[in-house]
Amino acid sequence: MLSEKMQAALNAQIKMEAESSQIYLAMASWAEIKGFEGISTFMFKQSDEERQHMLKLLKYINQRGGQAVVSALEEPRLDYSSFRTLFRQLYEHEVRVSEAINELVDIALTGKDYATHNFLQWYVSEQIEEEATAKVILDKIDLIGDDKGGLYMFDNDMKNFTANAHNTVQ
């Protein structure tokens, strides 16, 4: 059985994961409109992945005798002035998600909720990967700078990055 504190914290994480999905979806739409097929493909995939993270939490809460809450979401507020700015926002968001997961782990350990602690280890590992992926992308964009040819090649590489992301960044 989940404590009230743990249930509230997990429900807050459901909202954060859903908002993460929305952020990636907004970025995917923007990239698609701009003609960046590789980036949009990557972002659409990431949006789906974040939704799966949310659903996993929702099912866990319900299975542990709690009640998962599906709440209203904040509209993504993103700065689309440059790819560097966009991906920096993405990286910073993933760092915030990692901090939230770490807080959940702390609540689980403090409350001696070892089942939830065990469940959360998947999220800890996932966030290491998410942060690393966002950082690799940001580093590549920093290398490209304002070079249009480099941006074209980067977009093309994102198609392959999408297919290999889980194999290369672990």
Summarised one tens digit per residue, pLDDT across range 106-154 is 999 999 999 999 999 999 999 999 999 999 999 988 888 878 888 888 8
The model's pTM: 0.90
Three-state secondary structure readout of 29-59: HHHHHCCCHHHHHHHHHHHHHHHHHHHHHHH
Binding residue numbers: 17, 50, 53, 94, 127
Residue 19 host element (H or E): helix 4-33
Q: Cα 21 to the chain's mean position, in Å?
A: 7
Q: Which segments are annotated as binding site for Fe cation?
A: 17, 50, 53, 94, 127
In CATH terms, the fold of domain 4-70+80-162 is Ferritin (1.20.1260)
Band of the pLDDT at 164, cuts 50, 70, 90?
low
Q: Is the pLDDT of residue 170 over 80?
A: no
Ordered by start, the domain boundaries in the chain are 4-70+80-162
Q: Are 134 and 87 in contact, with CB atoms under 8 Å apart? A: yes
User: CA 25, CA 21: separation in Å to the nearest integer?
Assistant: 6
